[in-house]
């Protein structure tokens, strides 16, 4: 998380203005207001880079649905981190493309 010198509309809720931003992908900034940052503690947040759709899913729910032990390990490691992840496509804008994506993300977005 870094601080910008000007205020931009929060990419997640599109309501609040904030100067805090993160890089969702190299070179792509997303702005995150305080309440969305707070939400990121208990939820995984994915943001679609092509249509802007935001997916917020409770970490506990996502983790409880994981069957793959390697993935589970990886996700448990980030349970305490604030994760806001940019994705190329989502179920909304590219139902075919999302199938090429990691199963976890697809699964998480469907819950």
Tokens linked to 52 = 């802007």
Q: Does 36 bind Zn ion (CB under 5 A)?
A: yes
| Contact status: 8 vs Zn ion (CB under 5 A) | no
- Binding window for Zn ion (CB under 5 A); candidates: 20-28, 29-37, 58-66, 70-78: 29-37
Asked if residue 53 binds Zn ion (CB under 5 A), the reply is yes
DSSP symbols for 45-97 = EEEETTT--EEEEEHHHHHHT---HHHHHHHHHTTTS--EEEES--TTT-TTG
Contact status, residue 84 vs residue 24, Cβ threshold 8 Å: yes
> Does 85 help bind Zn ion (rule: CB under 5 A)?
no
Question: Does residue 90 touch Zn ion according to CB under 5 A?
Answer: yes
Question: Does the protein bind Zn ion through residue 45 (CB under 5 A)?
Answer: no
State the nearest-atom distance from the C-beta of 97 to Zn ion, in Å: 9
| 93 binds Zn ion per the rule CB under 5 A | yes
What is the C-alpha to C-alpha distance for residues 49 and 85, in angstroms, rounded to an integer?
Answer: 10
CB nearer Zn ion, residue 19 or residue 64: 19
Helix, strand, coil distribution of the chain in percent, nearest 5? 30, 30, 35
Residues that bind Zn ion (CB under 5 A): 10, 12-13, 16, 33, 36, 48, 50-51, 53, 90, 92-93
């Amino acid at each position: 998380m870094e601080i910008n010198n000007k205020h931009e509309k929060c990419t997640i809720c599109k309501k609040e203005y904030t100067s805090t931003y993160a890089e969702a992908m190299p070179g792509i900034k997303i702005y995150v207001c305080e309440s969305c940052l707070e939400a990121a503690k208990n939820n995984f947040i994915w943001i679609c880079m092509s249509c802007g759709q935001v997916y917020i899913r409770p970490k506990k729910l996502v983790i409880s649905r994981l069957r793959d032990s390697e993935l589970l390990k990886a996700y448990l490691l980030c349970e305490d981190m604030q994760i806001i992840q940019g994705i190329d496509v989502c179920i909304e804008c590219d139902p075919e493309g999302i199938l090429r994506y990691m199963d976890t993300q697809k699964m998480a977005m469907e819950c």
